[in-house]
């Protein structure tokens, strides 16, 4: 991964930060994309100091095609190329299906699904053969979760999008894959949980531990390596065996 240029969205904390740090650890130049410019710049500086690689922060709303176009163009302007694009940005607000409004539905689908479409279409336009695109999906694309019908729908759509895009972009030798995390210990996932809820979740996982951001990072970085050149259109589940039950 030495001297590769990797864009990671939703990268100032949690899974996205773990992915960005793993790319930097492997010697890649990293672009940190998120909603707050100040946080992006701060994270980029911290990565530069920690891993001694160049990093760049760019504000980006993944529901805006204009923003995603700018993210790609600014990356190419700074580094001269785009090798890797990982779309991790997403939201998962809990709400019963009978209470979800059209606005609620559209917001989740715009960020999670439309943002993934923008990621693939805009990144692929800038990539040379050998480019790698990874979308962070979820085990909610495979099984139902109460209170998350809009999120489950968005991630199910992501899986279908990844398969179709991989088929089309094979002619350009651009790989498109997804990683579907299970229960991952991040501020967003566990911040509001009490200890009882945390233990109940862990008990449901055959591996008997919460996943960590680096578990997802290792899968994402592998899919962006030359070792994964013949893997495309796949959804790699990283969940400690949760969905095997």
| CA nearest neighbour of 123 among 62, 213, 53 | 62
Choose, from 29, 92, 151, 230, the residue flagged as catalytic: 151
Strand partners, 181: 238
230 belongs to the catalytic site: no
Distance CA 221, CA 215 (A): 10
Angle, helices 102-109 vs 149-169, to 10°: value is: 30
Gap between the Cα atoms of 178 and 170, Å rounded: 15
Active site residues: 151
């Amino acid at each position: 991964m030495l001297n590769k240029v990797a864009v990671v969205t939703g990268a100032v904390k949690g899974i996205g930060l773990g992915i960005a740090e793993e790319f930097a650890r492997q010697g890649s130049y990293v672009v940190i994309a998120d909603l707050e410019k100040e946080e992006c710049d701060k994270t980029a500086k911290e990565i530069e100091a920690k891993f001694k690689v160049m990093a760049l922060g760019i504000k980006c709303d993944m529901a805006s095609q204009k923003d995603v176009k700018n993210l790609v163009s600014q990356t190419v302007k700074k580094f001269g190329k785009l090798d890797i694009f990982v779309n991790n940005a997403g939201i998962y607000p809990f709400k019963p299906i009978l209470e979800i409004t059209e606005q609620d539905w559209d917001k989740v689908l715009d960020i999670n699904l439309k943002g993934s479409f923008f990621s693939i279409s805009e990144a692929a336009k800038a990539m040379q053969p050998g480019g790698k695109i990874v979308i962070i999906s979820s085990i909610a694309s495979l099984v139902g979760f109460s209170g998350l019908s809009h999120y489950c729908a968005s991630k199910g759509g992501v899986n279908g999008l990844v398969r179709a895009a991989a088929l089309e972009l094979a002619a350009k030798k651009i790989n498109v894959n997804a990683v579907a995390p299970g229960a991952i210990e991040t501020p967003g996932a566990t911040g509001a949980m009490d200890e009882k809820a945390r233990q109940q979740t862990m008990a449901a996982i055959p591996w008997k531990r919460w996943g960590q951001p680096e578990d997802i990072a290792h899968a994402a970085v592998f899919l962006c390596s030359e070792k994964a050149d013949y893997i495309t259109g796949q959804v790699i589940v990283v969940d400690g065996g949760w969905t095997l039950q």
